[in-house]
A and B are shown apart, each in its own frame.
Chain A
Amino acid sequence: MPQVRALFCPNCGGTIQLRGYAQTVNAVCEHCLSVLDTKAESLRVIQQIQERTRIEPAIPLGSRGTFEGTRYEAIGFQQRSIDVDDETYSWREYLLFNPYKGYRYLTEYDGHWNYVRTLPALPVRSKYLTRPALVYEGRRFVHFQHAAARTTYVLGEFPWQVRTGETVGTDDFISPPYLLSAESTEHEVVYSLGTYTEPAAVWQAFGLQGAPPWRRGVFANQPSPYSRPASMWRRFASLTALLLVVLISVAIITPHERVLEQVYRYASHTPAAAPFVTPTFELRGRPSSVVVRVDTDIDNDAASFALALINDETGQVWDFGADLGYWHGRDEDGNWSEGRRNAAATVPDVPAGRYYLRVEPSIDEAAPISGVASDPNRERGFKYTLSVTRGWFGWWPFLVAFPLLLIPPIAATARYYSFEGKRWSESDYSTYLSS
């Protein structure tokens, strides 16, 4: 038996339509915005002061939408505001009604929406670091903000007493995508749980036309689009460990053996400048690289080496070269030096066998001799050590890979904390607020 009541506003005579049946305690006349007491048979005006500017609810009162499989009708709308440092921040609340299931709420601030219901059980008081927290169903909600919420506009009907200008204390605790709110008066504390809801989902539920307004900023319980960086760091740690294991394994299985080490002298005016060959040496194992290295004591000079690795049995030749030069001196800025005294060349995939090197060192005649008086007849020479190492092993892949591996977790951490910084900048714990 529905209780349809045809009612008229005692203030302006306009018709009042009650959608919330007899649960409704107060209704606002949509014509003159008077707040009416609907409990008595005849309506009574209980408040006439209202903002002169009308606010049009984004969800028209009387429209129905489905949430969690239940249809609800939007029957009430209120705007509430808080004042922070002479700035007024306002959000809007929609009261949804189903005559069997009761009431739900939708809240909207800067284009961010929450679907809200009251809690059947009490949250347990807790702490997170130094901040108050609440635990509800195993989830810890961290205190975000305390506010004195003032009702600044009402429309539609409510199962409780509404007045514009009325203020209640609210405390918001967050655990994205959830927001736990405590509203307290002297005689009552009501806990409610909001779930961050995509604006498009609200539009779809109510079949609203057009696109929802853009969201501005990051809302308290807006879920971060970025995952916690801890997982990225764990991945980084395991990849680094894997890389180390691979490198160490390669180092263990790769033969690494010095097969030749000879000391020579080079002088530009002696026959020693002519090409020569080294003693033979044995290369063993699977085909792998050979590193030929020249270390000199060259001083303010440059040299180049024409080198060939020759297989004594098959005559196969690998030609390659090494250039080096080293200069130093003193000028008005003090001591300086440049270049280097050694050079190395790597010959890859050399099969096992007997080998020798053909070596042809030469002084670079055109080499600039900075800071030293050039003398074409000067005897130029140096001592050098020629070494051949079978197998190649270096740490440089690790040194290259390590910073590359660092990039994703560092980027993820920066993104994550940038988002969290925006979230908390609106809270009582903002690091950007001096107060």
Chain B
Amino acid sequence: MPDRTANCPNCGAPLRFRWSGAVQTTCEYCHSILVRHDLDFRKVGVVAELPLEGSPLQLGSEGVFDNKPFIAVGRIIYEYDQGVWNEWHLLFSDGTSGWLADAQLEYAVSFLTQRSHPLPAPQHLHRGQQFQWDGAVYEVTTITEANYRGVEGELPFEYWDKQRVRFADLRTADARFATLDYSEDPPLLFMGRVVEFDGLRLNNLRHFEGWD
């Protein structure tokens, strides 16, 4: 896919796109958050200093999921009482997009999924609650209140003014994984699978001194 280029409306630096569907990106020079309207970009804010975090991925990291190559083109960083975690926005070779969660080096790949049945309201959600989806029993294992801490790179939606968000993680007996994201109403459902670091065959990773 050819890189599409534009210029930052704030500083004039070239913006490089890996994904034609990007709705939002950040300027890597002036850290402006830019939202696309048709062909124009509008500055909606400035990225706060990203928190220190230890994800081995970075923008441009590549890997493979279900035999489909992907590249990490953007991310959202959340903070909760046990630290931070990253949601890496993945662009797959077939043009689809997904998410790789790196929560303290536990990895899961998931995709936004539409459901015909209504999803549970946040106040009705509790740990241990079970849902039957696609022939599997999903159980709520974690409910997390998180703060949005920053964005980087290309995202499929506008995501820059969120504050406190409630998430619920669900798991199955066969390592399937789902997240309910209550930042929108109705909530968003992401479904996928827990993955091993080695299984993602990642490259172009961050380098940690003394670890190769």
- Name the residue among A22, A101, A122, A186 with the largest chain B CB count within 10 angstroms: A122
Q: Are B172 and A25 in contact (CB under 8 A)?
A: no
Instruction: Tell whether A189 pairs with B105 under 8 Å between CB atoms, given A99-B56, A122-B172.
Output: no
B171 within 8 A of A: yes
| Cα distance, A2 to B212, chains bound together (Å) | 12
State which of B81, B105, B141, B142 has its C-beta within 8 Å of the C-beta of A103. Answer: B105
Q: Closest B residue to A5 by CB, please name it.
A: B52
Within 8 A of A (CB), among B153-185: 171-176
Complex Cα distance A334/B206, Å? 100
B90 smallest CB distance to A (angstroms): 18
B40, CB-defined interface residue at 8 Å: no
| A166-196 interface with B by 8 A CB criterion | 186-190
Per a CB cutoff under 8 Å, which of B106, B139, B208 touches A2?
A: B208
Contacts of A160 in B (CB 8 A): 82-83, 104
Q: In whole angstroms, how far apart are the Cα atoms of A187 and B142 in the complex?
A: 6
Residue of B whose beta carbon sits closest to that of A124:
B173
Q: Which residues of B contact A118 (CB under 8 A)?
A: 106
B104, A187: Cβ atoms closer than 8 Å: no
**Nearest Cβ in chain A — how far from B24, in angstroms?**
25
Judged by a CB distance under 8 angstroms, whether A399 is at the interface is: no
B141 and A39: CB pair below 8 A?
no
> Of residues 148 to 169 in A, which have CB atoms within 8 Å of B's CB atoms?
159-161
Q: Give the size category of B's interface with A.
A: 35 or more
Q: Once the chains are docked, how many angstroms separate the CA of A161 from the CA of B198?
A: 28
**What's the least CB distance linking A42 to chain B, in Å?**
12
Picked from A24, A102, A186, the residue with its CB within 8 Å of the CB of B197 is A102
Please determine whether A187 and B127 come into contact, CB atoms closer than 8 angstroms: yes
Decide: A187 and B144 in contact? CB cutoff 8 A: yes
- Tell me, in angstroms, the Cα distance from A354 to B143 when the chains sit together: 100
B89: min CB distance to chain A, Å: 20
| Contact A23 B54, beta carbon cutoff 8 Å | yes
In the complex, whether A1 has a CB less than 8 A from a CB of chain B is yes
Cβ of A102 and Cβ of B83 under 8 Å apart?
Answer: no
Judging by beta carbons under 8 Å apart, are A23 and B127 in contact? no
Could you tell me the distance in whole angstroms from the C-beta of B206 to the nearest C-beta in chain A? Answer: 6
- Cβ–Cβ contact B104 & A23, under 8 A: yes
The reply on A408 being an interface residue by CB < 8 A is no
Residues of chain A contacted by B175 (CB below 8 angstroms): 120-121
Tell me if A120 and B105 are in contact (CB < 8 A): no
A39–B80 Cα distance when bound, in Å, is 11
- Which of A1-31 touch B at CB < 8 Å? 1-5, 20-25
**What is the interface size of chain A, counting residues whose CB is below 8 A from a CB of the partner?**
34
- Considering the chains assembled together, what is the distance between the CA atoms of A36 and B45 in angstroms? 33
Judge whether A100 and B83 touch: CB under 8 Å: no
Q: Are the CB atoms of A122 and B173 closer together than 8 Å?
A: yes
A-contacting residues, B43-66, CB 8 Å: 51-54, 56
- Asked if A121 contacts B104 (CB within 8 A), the reply is no
Q: Chain B residues with Cβ under 8 A from A24's Cβ?
A: 54
Cβ 8 A contact of A39, one of B83, B142, B144, B174: B83
Those of A94-111 within 8 Å (CB) of chain B: 98-103
- B122 CB–A CB distance under 8 Å: no
Q: Does A123 contact B (CB under 8 A)?
A: yes
B209:A121 contact, CB within 8 angstroms: no
Q: B133: CB under 8 A from chain A? A: no
Partner pick for A102 among B104, B139, B206, CB 8 A cutoff = B104
Interface centre among A2, A100, A161 (most CB of B within 10 A): A100
Query: Does the CB pair B104–A99 fall under 8 Å?
Result: no
List, in ascending order, chain A residues with CB within 8 A of B12's CB: none
B173 contacts A123, CB within 8 Å? yes
- Chain B contacts of A189 at CB under 8 A? 127-128, 141
Q: Are A3's CB and B172's CB within 8 A? A: no
Flag if A101 contacts B105 (CB, 8 Å): yes
A136: nearest residue on chain B (CB-CB)?
A: B173
Determine the distance from Cα of A159 to Cα of B205 in the docked complex, in whole angstroms. 21
The answer, among B128, B172, B211, for a CB contact under 8 Å with A99, is B211
In the A-B complex, the 9 residue pairs with the smallest Cβ-Cβ separation, listed nearest first, are A102-B105, A2-B209, A121-B175, A120-B194, A22-B52, A21-B54, A23-B54, A22-B54, A99-B208
- Apart from A22-B51, A22-B52, A123-B173, 9 more pairs, CB < 8 Å: A25-B82, A98-B211, A99-B105, A100-B105, A100-B211, A120-B175, A120-B194, A187-B127, A190-B141
Give 23 pairs: A residue, B residue, CB < 8 Å, sorted on A. A1-B207, A4-B209, A22-B51, A22-B84, A23-B54, A39-B83, A100-B105, A100-B205, A100-B211, A101-B198, A102-B106, A120-B175, A121-B174, A122-B139, A122-B172, A122-B173, A136-B173, A159-B82, A159-B83, A186-B127, A187-B127, A187-B144, A188-B127
